[in-house]
Amino acid sequence: MHSQLIILLLALSLAAPARTIRVYPGALKKTIALSQNGDTLLFKPGVYKEGTVTITKSITLIGEPGAVLDGENKYEILILSGYHITIKNLQFQNAGYSALNDFAAIKIIDALSLLLEGNQILNSYFAVHVSNSSYVTIRNNKITGKPKTEQLTGNGIHLWKCNNALIESNHVQGHRDGIYFEFVTSSVIRNNLSEKNIRYGLHFMFSNNDQYRQNIFRNNGAGVAVMYSKKVTMVQNHFELNWGPTAYGILLKDISDSYIGHNTFFKNTVAIHLEGTSRMNIEKNIFRSNGWAVKIQASCEDNNFYHNNFTGNSFDVATNGTMVLNKFDNNYWDKYEGYDISKDGIGDVPYHPVSLYSMIVEENPYTLMLFRSFTMQLLDKAEKAIPGITPENLADNKPIMKPLKL
């Protein structure tokens, strides 16, 4: 009855530009078919179980409270392709799972200038899946998945081959990767909270010239991974409580020319792990109460660690080789035992952040059993007095006496 009325109304006002059309459960596909560029579709409360809906027109979809789109665990819910499409305040749930396709609650393909705002996406395989699109904004969405295994769970916000995207103020949890970037350039990830995902909170692959700032990545299975990218700016983020044998605050693999500044790393098993990484500036970060603050493989070169605070970490720096091509200067180390006779606030003897025991653990992980034992402390002291095994060049020549105010 309602739908017929709408069709009638639509037919009457066909010529008018930018109308607002009400949508009721059961009539979504028809309404979309009759809408025109510039229209606004207002979703009335109710559960919409209408399979997969494809939108190619430049329309705005707004949900009233209680408007729910349900995929019945079988279908993708929305496929968007085109330009100037807006999806606001809708709730999506139970999008289907497929082993062949990346089914998503909202799939965006070949689009330009899209806005997803204030939506809630529950219990989906992929939540938002964007490919080959430009100027996509994803803001204030709340995405909650039900984590199963890595194969059966998709990513929260997944971008593939995009540019100029803005991911802002979203809350993602319970997916495989919270936010996933592959071949994404010139994009910004800002002020998001990504937690309790079974793999990475944020996963970067082959994505250059991006920045992420003021995000919180907490308690993810493996922390954050930034791989095979260039010119990534990472500032003012919080990396917290990423615990596990393969969990990292940030895992850097084959990254170059990037900047990591003003971040806080708190209680991670490894705060930063660097592998094949070069020309990075890592400045003014806080490393507090981590297992390993920095693990730097011998394959890294020209990385600069300046003006960071290292406090309460079990190991400050660990490495697997003796060749040192990186600089650690002007940092504050709470384990520094030197003196400052010249009273300029800079310690007069260099600080060697790599302890003998951290080399031993790197060589043979089982020796973690002897952590903090008297024997190991004696060995460490002996090594500090007469360095033989630890890389002698890996030193902070100008350690700061008091913690920096960051």
Name the site residues for other proteins (rule: CB under 8 A): 241, 243-245, 247, 267-270, 289-292, 311-312, 314-315, 334, 360-361, 364-378
Shortest Å, Cβ 246 to other proteins: 9
Shortest Å, Cβ 249 to other proteins: 10
- Judged by beta carbon, residue 374 or residue 385, the one nearer other proteins is 374
Shortest Å, Cβ 243 to other proteins: 4
Asked whether 96 and 75 are in contact (CB, 8 A), the reply is yes
Asked whether 98 and 73 are in contact (CB, 8 A), the reply is no
- Judged by beta carbon, residue 136 or residue 317, the one nearer other proteins is 317
Shortest Å, Cβ 315 to other proteins: 7
Residue in the block written with tokens 């920045």: 211
Asked whether 307 and 281 are in contact (CB, 8 A), the reply is no
Distance between CA atoms of residues 295 and 320, nearest Å:
9
Distance between CA atoms of residues 168 and 173, nearest Å:
15
Distance between CA atoms of residues 402 and 380, nearest Å:
24
Shortest Å, Cβ 355 to other proteins: 13
Asked whether 366 and 343 are in contact (CB, 8 A), the reply is no
- Judged by beta carbon, residue 343 or residue 372, the one nearer other proteins is 372
Shortest Å, Cβ 264 to other proteins: 14
CA distances from 97 to 151, 196, 237 (A): 11, 21, 32
- Judged by beta carbon, residue 181 or residue 332, the one nearer other proteins is 332
Angle at 236 between CA 230 and CA 242, to 5 degrees: 85
Asked whether 293 and 272 are in contact (CB, 8 A), the reply is yes
Shortest Å, Cβ 372 to other proteins: 6
- Beta-ladder partners of 248: 223, 270
Distance between CA atoms of residues 80 and 119, nearest Å:
15
* CB-side neighbour CA atoms (13 Å) of 159: 30
- Judged by beta carbon, residue 69 or residue 293, the one nearer other proteins is 293
- Judged by beta carbon, residue 7 or residue 241, the one nearer other proteins is 241
- Judged by beta carbon, residue 342 or residue 364, the one nearer other proteins is 364
- Judged by beta carbon, residue 108 or residue 270, the one nearer other proteins is 270
Q: How far apart are the first and last CA of the chain?
A: 64
* Residue 365 three-state SS: helix
Shortest Å, Cβ 353 to other proteins: 15
